[in-house]
Structure 1
Amino acid sequence: MLVLVAVLVVLAFFYGKSRGSALGGTAGQLHSLPYYHGYFVALMVAIPLLLIAVLWPALGGAYITSQALSALPADLQPANELARDAVMRDIRLIASGAITDADRLSAYPQGVRAAGEVFGNLRSVSGWLQLAVALLVGVGTAVLASRKLSIKFRARNSVERIFLVVLIACSAVAILTTVGIVFSVIFETFRFFAKVPVTEFLFGTQWSPQTALRADQVGSSGAFGAVPLFIGTTLVMFIAMCVAGPIGLFAAIYMAEYASPRARSVAKPILEVLAGIPTVVFGFFAALSVAPLIRRWGESIGLEVASESALAAGIVMGVMIIPFMSSLSDDVINAVPQSLRDGSYAMGATKSETVKKVVLPAALPGIVSAFMLSVSRAVGETMIVVMAAGLAAHAVSWDLIETFNPLQAVTTVTVQIATLLVGDQEFDSSKTLSAFALGFVLFFFTLILNMIALRVVSRFKEQYD
């Protein structure tokens, strides 16, 4: 389908361009250049084809699924949504032809196998029908669009209007996606708070989300006090920013103010290579190198250090965030007008005095924004914490040294969200719904950080215009 769309759009462009050139050569001066006529025809072909490519699988897939389910005998009809998903997985697996062994295929009921054949046949027919409809629509829209081409036709204006509509639609998609995410999290959070009191969630000191699935099960406390998660998240984030904040800022000051162009051209790309390393690699590095090193160091001086600790996760996370902090701060420092530096030098200030008294105060709003964005990046990290800090949520006590001990295993909000939503889950239990409540708290926290950053920028930016 995508190949067909690309071929038809390219052919439509050259067809429209040739028609525009022919009009200009035979009848006089065109209002718009010939390639604008080509863009117009190509866009008029591309828009309906892309709509077909997006909407056909959704609508056709829903119809095919309903027909496959209706082909099941009455005794195999799914009773709920979870059973429906399980049956559809078997039907899709059979329809894909991945099972060629007769013994494995015979393990599925005859009704499921028949539904798989129905699903495969309908999907094949739907695919060919989609291509045929796309071909007809593409040729038809190309013919209709070409009829509008004339000497006085304002092809350039039409193309610009189409692009304006496309840009507005893209902006609307981004905005509606954000609104949809917010409301979906809020609705599920309200469902969770209907089962668990807000005060227990926000101020409870024990986190144990395992709940009993049946009345005769025991050993499932179902405690949803999220304070241990908030403490673990804050502890890991604080350690990470103690590493990334000073190192990233000092690296940015060096590259922006002290490094020669040659040194900067070498140091900056090497530093930013860290940003391209997958977080799972940092997690392996933390679990296999940093955590054992911290444990051996702690034991050598008589400290009790866990195999997985907040300190190991925080240090490695700080290293990961260094290029983020450094790159943003470097851009902000370079944006400070050179006239401010020249004025400081003219007053007899040294290089270091200029950096401390002029450049950094002028760049303060941007540096604070970079710091806040780095904090948001640290709060949202999952993989490093899973591999280096563990999954344990220790109960909070009045012993602050024990509660905020960076040498013991901790867990964070993002790690628990990922853990709670692993596998087949029904979204009607307190355990699963608690993930949405944690997501809402995380969203609210990052929103507050962004608002603080915007407030700092608006407060200080006018002083150095």
Structure 2
Amino acid sequence: MNTFITLAIVLIALSFVYTWGAAASRRVASQTGEKLHSRPPYYGLYLVLWCAIPAAIIFIVYSLITPTIETVIIQSYFPQEVLNDAAELANQTRQVESIAGGFGMFGEPAPYQVQAAAALKNVEWIGKMALVALIAVAAVAGTLVARTRISPEFRARNRIETAIEMLLITCSAIAVLTTVGIVLSVLGEAVRFFTFVNPIDFFLGTSWNPRFSTTGHGGQGDFGLLPLLWGTLMITIIAMIVAVPIGLMAAVYLSEYAGPKFRFVAKPMLEVLAGIPTIVYGIFAAFTVGPFLSTMGDAVGLDINATSAFTAGIVMGIMIIPFVSSLSDDIISQVPQSLRDGSYGLGATRSETIRRVILPAALPGIVGAFLLAVSRAIGETMIVVLAAGNSPVLTANPFEAVSTVTVTIVNQLTGDTDFASPQSLVAFALGLTLFVITLCLNVVAIYIVRKYREQYE
């Protein structure tokens, strides 16, 4: 059944249950002559919960056990020689699933594959019919049970608020557990990498050459982080030098000087920069900004590569201007007007008020905008892939080609690689390094925000 049609049927059914529950509560109140504890919509929502939760539980259980049952049924038709070969077993199982799905396969399928596909189709049809029946029975039963509990004394509002609270806790737990899962998965693979490479050589090494060779580090190549880390920091610094002054001054102008009409037009146009895909910025940097900077460098006697940290940093700075300007503008606009009026009343000019009153009061939010911009710059990939040159060398010259941590992660995980080798596992060590850097930035930002916020509370 089409997903849209299924969703429409579910929404119509829940709407009917909600309406029935609300009407039933009003009818109970009129029959008993007593005042309901909660408003009728809460009783309708209570019936919706009892209708949806049992059905959702059955659907989740079905989704978890169905793949295992179908795999067992498919493999029951396979001969013993296929069952003894794990790789061939997995391959033929996928082929049978493809045949049952109507996609076919290359070559002529074996008779047992055709039989297995037919059995799979039958099981899928029976399973779907059983699922629909079970969900319908569970939904109806849950609704009827909830209906019997409607009475003037029943605290439907409390139950609904408890359910909402549990939902919010579940969402928060999912977010936290997802973060923990990501960290643990990256940490586990990074630990495996450090069984191949000494952590001191990784964090303090100045040479990056992760190819197999006959010399150096047991023939595993060189995994020095410093060239990548310095390239990342160099491009980030250049980007912030471009984005922070322009973004902050644009925010000050839009919030303190611009008229309503100009602000109405200018701010959306500035925020359009945030919606441009980063690959477009990368192409712009590689084919327009890079050659332009190289030509300008030749004119003034500087050797500027078309692909360099300078090129990538400038374009990345342009990209993150909206992150600084839009957030800073929102924060500055929230500074109470009474602070401005008090400053003007003491004889301060507009510029003095901005420098000595508004910006210090908005500093915590501005620091948060800067932190977001730095995190965006550190994690950027496509611009540096096309504009930085992808040269992992340790250099202090911003006009030369460099590489970054994110680009190296892409390089190490691209292509036909052995994910048990240090050449691939190093990507997880690099990802863990970026996570630690971002965490440190957050800690510093929280410290600054707390320190300055106390002066204005």
Fold-level similarity (TM above 0.5): yes
1:16 to 15, 21, 26: 21
Residue type of the alignment partner of 1:8 = A
Q: Offset of 1:153 from its aligned partner? A: 1.5
CA-atom RMSD in angstroms? 2.8
For residue 324 of structure 2, what is the aligned residue in structure 1? 325
1:437 aligns with 2:429: yes
Q: Offset of 1:301 from its aligned partner? A: 4.3
SS of residue paired to 2:251:
helix
1:446 aligns with 2:447: no
Indicate conservation of the 8 Å contact 1:208/1:221, yes or no.
Answer: no
The verdict on how the C-alpha distance between 1:157 and 1:371 changes in structure 2, with shifts beyond 3 A counting, is: same
Residue type of the alignment partner of 1:50 = A
Indicate conservation of the 8 Å contact 1:5/1:46, yes or no.
Answer: no
Give 5+ residue unaligned stretches, structure 2.
1-5
The verdict on how the C-alpha distance between 1:124 and 1:242 changes in structure 2, with shifts beyond 3 A counting, is: farther
Q: Offset of 1:39 from its aligned partner? A: 0.6
Q: Offset of 1:426 from its aligned partner? A: 4.9
Indicate conservation of the 8 Å contact 1:8/1:45, yes or no.
Answer: no
Residue type of the alignment partner of 1:167 = L
Q: Please give the alpha-carbon distance, in whole angstroms, between the structure 2 residues aligned to 1:250 and 1:266.
A: 17
1:39 aligns with 2:45: yes
Indicate conservation of the 8 Å contact 2:82/2:88, yes or no.
Answer: no
1:203 aligns with 2:204: yes
% identity of equivalent residues:
45
Residue type of the alignment partner of 1:137 = A
- Mean CA deviation greater in 111-120 or 171-180: 111-120
Indicate conservation of the 8 Å contact 2:21/2:147, yes or no.
Answer: yes
Q: Offset of 1:257 from its aligned partner? A: 1.1
Indicate conservation of the 8 Å contact 1:203/1:225, yes or no.
Answer: yes
1:49 aligns with 2:55: yes
Q: Offset of 1:364 from its aligned partner? A: 2.1
Trace 1:55-454 onto structure 2 (pairs within 5 A).
Answer: 55-69=61-75, 71-77=77-83, 89-99=94-104, 105-106=106-107, 119-211=120-212, 221-394=220-393, 396=394, 403-422=395-414, 426-454=418-446
Residue type of the alignment partner of 1:374 = A
The verdict on how the C-alpha distance between 1:62 and 1:250 changes in structure 2, with shifts beyond 3 A counting, is: farther
Q: Offset of 1:60 from its aligned partner? A: 1.9
The verdict on how the C-alpha distance between 1:296 and 1:131 changes in structure 2, with shifts beyond 3 A counting, is: farther
1:7 aligns with 2:41: no
Residue type of the alignment partner of 1:414 = T
Residues 51-106 of structure 1: CA deviation (Å, up to 9, x unaligned): 344443233224334544554444445866x877766654444333234xxxx631
SS of residue paired to 1:455:
helix
Q: Please give the alpha-carbon distance, in whole angstroms, between the structure 2 residues aligned to 1:83 and 1:423.
A: 23
Q: Offset of 1:145 from its aligned partner? A: 1.2
**TM-score, normalization by structure 1:** 0.87
Q: Please give the alpha-carbon distance, in whole angstroms, between the structure 2 residues aligned to 1:247 and 1:355.
A: 16
Q: Please give the alpha-carbon distance, in whole angstroms, between the structure 1 residues aligned to 2:83 and 2:287.
A: 49
Q: Offset of 1:378 from its aligned partner? A: 0.7
2:30 to 25, 28, 31: 25
Indicate conservation of the 8 Å contact 1:9/1:43, yes or no.
Answer: no
Q: Offset of 1:345 from its aligned partner? A: 1.4
Indicate conservation of the 8 Å contact 1:71/1:118, yes or no.
Answer: no
The verdict on how the C-alpha distance between 1:232 and 1:64 changes in structure 2, with shifts beyond 3 A counting, is: farther
2:449 to 454, 457, 460: 457
Residues 286-307 of structure 1: CA deviation (Å, up to 9, x unaligned): 2332223223333444544444
Residues 292-336 of structure 1: CA deviation (Å, up to 9, x unaligned): 322333344454444432222222211111111112211222232
The verdict on how the C-alpha distance between 1:8 and 1:342 changes in structure 2, with shifts beyond 3 A counting, is: same
Indicate conservation of the 8 Å contact 2:220/2:422, yes or no.
Answer: no
Give 5+ residue unaligned stretches, structure 1.
397-402
**TM-score, normalization by structure 2:** 0.89
Q: Please give the alpha-carbon distance, in whole angstroms, between the structure 1 residues aligned to 2:309 and 2:96.
A: 45
Residues 337-365 of structure 1: CA deviation (Å, up to 9, x unaligned): 22222222122221111111222222222
Q: Offset of 1:385 from its aligned partner? A: 1.8
Q: Please give the alpha-carbon distance, in whole angstroms, between the structure 2 residues aligned to 1:42 and 1:69.
A: 41
Q: Please give the alpha-carbon distance, in whole angstroms, between the structure 1 residues aligned to 2:59 and 2:428.
A: 32
The verdict on how the C-alpha distance between 1:20 and 1:124 changes in structure 2, with shifts beyond 3 A counting, is: same
The verdict on how the C-alpha distance between 1:364 and 1:302 changes in structure 2, with shifts beyond 3 A counting, is: same
Equivalent pairs counted in the alignment come to 448
The verdict on how the C-alpha distance between 1:311 and 1:92 changes in structure 2, with shifts beyond 3 A counting, is: farther
Q: Please give the alpha-carbon distance, in whole angstroms, between the structure 1 residues aligned to 2:59 and 2:324.
A: 41
Residue type of the alignment partner of 2:14 = V
For residue 400 of structure 1, what is the aligned residue in structure 2? none
- Mean CA deviation greater in 324-333 or 418-427: 418-427
Q: Offset of 1:383 from its aligned partner? A: 1.9
The verdict on how the C-alpha distance between 1:364 and 1:373 changes in structure 2, with shifts beyond 3 A counting, is: same
Residue type of the alignment partner of 1:377 = R
- Mean CA deviation greater in 128-137 or 314-323: 128-137
Q: Please give the alpha-carbon distance, in whole angstroms, between the structure 1 residues aligned to 2:60 and 2:286.
A: 43
